[in-house]
Structure 1
Amino acid sequence: MARAAASAEIERLIQLLARLPGLGPRSARRAALHLVKKKEQLLAPLAAALTEAHDRIVTCETCGNIDTVSPCTLCRDQSRDRTLICVVEEVGDLWALERAHVLNGLYHVLGGTLSPLDGVGPEDLSIAKLIERAGAPEVKEVLLALNATVEGQSTAHYLTDQLVGCNVAISRLAHGVPIGGELDYLDEGTLVAAVKARKTM
């Protein structure tokens, strides 16, 4: 009986790990075995970190970033340029730009891109909140830092139309970002060049 229960627990761990991006069933099995073998050094601290993350991490009510406070640390930072809002698809893209130390403005996380085939429409993304933020008197520019994919570009065009009445300059990353490229996978040099060469739409 004990053997069956242990096996079921390990199988559950494997199934949960397999849901993570980049981990298939075989990689998840290897990861689970490694965690179990290093139970005290890895599994226990990981379990504690996951519990703490579950209890403490929240989504920023202003920009959509994740942090332990809302508004997040970036939104609260008074030294940031509040005339610029940089729009990204996901939190990972925000982190990529922050790692490059190329922007000192504020961010807005859409939560994805428009994709009619997948049933993702404007109401499924944080577009209404973006329009509201862009209408603030201090905002002068909205930088659309969306991935150079078909969905990313169609979302950028949609946002450009929606932002017309907000009296802000609308810019986008230069085409140093390769077509099909995702921000989270680009090196800092490419990101710096792309941001510096942004152009008005």
Structure 2
Amino acid sequence: MRRYQIIGYTLVGLAAAALVGQSAASAQDAPDTTAVDPAGAKQVNLSTADQVSAAEGYLRNMETTRESIRRDLEDARQQRDVVKTLCLNDKLNQLDVAIRSATDRKRGLDLAASRGDADLANHEFTILSVLFQRGQQLDAEAKQCIGKEVGFVGESSTTVDIDPNLPFEDPTDLPDPVVIAQPPNCASCNR
């Protein structure tokens, strides 16, 4: 009896393993060409050629960012501003690491595209997208190091439009309060 139980459990285990293995193999057969959008909010479908061209744009953008930070670092050194110099040097070093990694991933993407391996190309492009986002973040942090506002390029100005239908009275001028309550009579007073 015990032998039949062991054989039964073994057969059930083997059947379950075969089903799991078969479903995993069928999931790997279909190539998926989805990739993460650089904004990180959604997945997009790109062909490997589009991924390669987008990756080239990412690397160009990161190189431009590196040159901008390098110029700001040179200016900070000329001004002998130690805090800005240390901050910008740190951001530049982090960006250099991200660019080296992105360059390696770009080579991997090119190799995967030449072999027609969509899964590997998608993987490499996703990592490249994350590295590109990191480069943008480092650019924003470098601008904070030197006190530049990230959202504005030129001088800012404020324009005020007043609705002509508003009343001319000042709403902050309140009328004198009317006292409704009488002070209480003296309870301990003798009359």
TM-score band by shorter chain is under 0.3
| Relative contact order higher in (CA < 8 Å, ≥ 6 apart) | 2
Give me the TM-score of the superposition, normalised by structure 1. 0.22
Relative to its length, the structure with more strand (as a share) is 1
Relative to its length, the structure with more helix (as a share) is 2
